[in-house]
Homo-oligomer: A and B are copies of this chain.
């Protein structure tokens, strides 16, 4: 392949797409880019890319087209519906890698549309990515790809160019499976991004030094990849630099809840996060970094009348913050794994993806294996291999945090929801069951 690298069309040169496309240029590919935003195309040319003025022009005579636009609506426009759309201009048998995060239902519909317009020859690959702009430019993304075997084989080299060698996940199930894997990963992202703001807002109500609180969390069982990456920006006076706008995680969150509703599946954690994201966007925080939602949590401090908590020492207060996060992460792990099981995904693959990507948390690592075992076992008999803390301990720490937040009149949307979910889970345990292990929470989803 090295001596005759195929030409690539690349549609959508945003924060992620620009990095991905320039990485391909650096790997020696001739890449023709298209974007609606002219200055981006100029920048791309400066990096050695070629520029097209329409999607159709970009894909002409290209056997490979990567599409990295922001939404399903945009994908539909550039591929099929818009003026000078790509699909009619693609050569026979060309591969289209749709790397945007879209609903499974959309990419499956797209596959049907291709057949309906007589382009069933196109080798569509459902290949959403994760990892952020830096890893995009570095060619070390996580990629979750679903497609026919033929399409995967045709495109494997290109997926490999864009991904870390250990982070290319070929999801069984064809078109839609990649998007579903990305979606269940985003259950963790949606909850853990907001949990960062919630925990630090709670720390503010507790009167803690927030930098110290963040450091404590990061070296505790309450840590998550998102907390580590978001907390510095949440504590920046202007929530800078903007790494990911609130509107972006809201978009992914809404995909999760909409697909879940379509499947009749409950997503109490992600739905709670979504409502808070709507509130943030309604306040005008949509373009701001998602870590800036800490504003929704700490704004009441000092405005809710005289309040008094019971935790006196910094140590006790920090333990409450960690307990809040552990409880939230427990339930976001449960929602992720239960949804993955409902969608028929390979749970071991999902787990491996999640712990090595932005959805990772100490709690997921600890309870994930037990949860997977529980959802595989229809009857609900625990595998009995609970790692880490007992459920009693996690619930009691979470309850202490929610109790204290109530005394301080501090909102803890996710923590309160997580506590209720653990209670609902316990209410549905068979009376004859052994003492509950931590992962049992996953059974609340059915």
Contact = CB atoms under 8 A, between A and B. Distances in A.
Contacts of A417: 268, 271-272
A264 B403 contact: no
B281 A296 contact: no
Contact of A409 (B281, B421, B427): B281
Contacts of A402: 261
B300 A282 contact: yes
Given A303-B282, A428-B428, A446-B428, A268 B420 contact: yes
A303 to B, nearest CB: 6
A403 B258 contact: yes
Interface string A414-446: 001101110110111000000000000000111
Given A417-B272, A428-B446, A254 B406 contact: yes
A446 B428 CA distance: 6
A268 B412 contact: no
Contacts of A445: 424, 427
A31 to B, nearest CB: 31
Given A406-B257, A416-B274, A282 B304 contact: yes
- Most chain B CB within a 10 A radius of its CB, from A299, A305, A423: A423
A186 B250 CA distance: 33
A161 to B, nearest CB: 34
A366 B3 CA distance: 74
A267 interface: yes
Nearest to A403: B261
A303 B275 contact: no
A286 B268 contact: no
Interface string A378-420: 0000000000000000000001001100100111110011011
Contact of A413 (B265, B275, B424, B446): B275
A281 B254 contact: no
A186 to B, nearest CB: 15
Interface string A286-326: 10000000001001110111000000000000000000000
Contacts of A304: 278, 281-282, 286
B299 A283 contact: yes
A284 interface: yes
A425 to B, nearest CB: 9
A80 to B, nearest CB: 20
Chain A interface main SS type: helix
Contacts of A279: 279, 296, 300, 411
Interface in A242-279: 247, 250, 254, 257-258, 261, 264-268, 271-272, 274-275, 278-279
A328 to B, nearest CB: 13
A279 B298 CA distance: 10
- Most chain B CB within a 10 A radius of its CB, from A279, A286, A399, A403: A279
A69 B410 CA distance: 25
A445 B420 CA distance: 10
Nearest to A257: B406
A410 B446 contact: no
Contacts of A250: 409
A410 B300 contact: no
Interface string A328-348: 000000000000000000000
Contacts of A296: 279
B281 A416 contact: no
Given A278-B411, A281-B300, A281-B304, A444 B419 contact: no
A81 to B, nearest CB: 16
- Most chain B CB within a 10 A radius of its CB, from A279, A282, A416: A282
A250 B421 CA distance: 22
Contacts of A300: 278-279, 281-283
Nearest to A405: B278
- Most chain B CB within a 10 A radius of its CB, from A261, A264, A286: A261
Contacts of A271: 416-417, 419-420
Given A278-B304, A286-B304, 18 more contacts: A250-B409, A258-B403, A266-B419, A266-B423, A266-B424, A267-B420, A271-B417, A271-B419, A272-B413, A272-B417, A275-B411, A278-B411, A279-B300, A281-B304, A282-B411, A284-B303, A424-B446, A428-B446
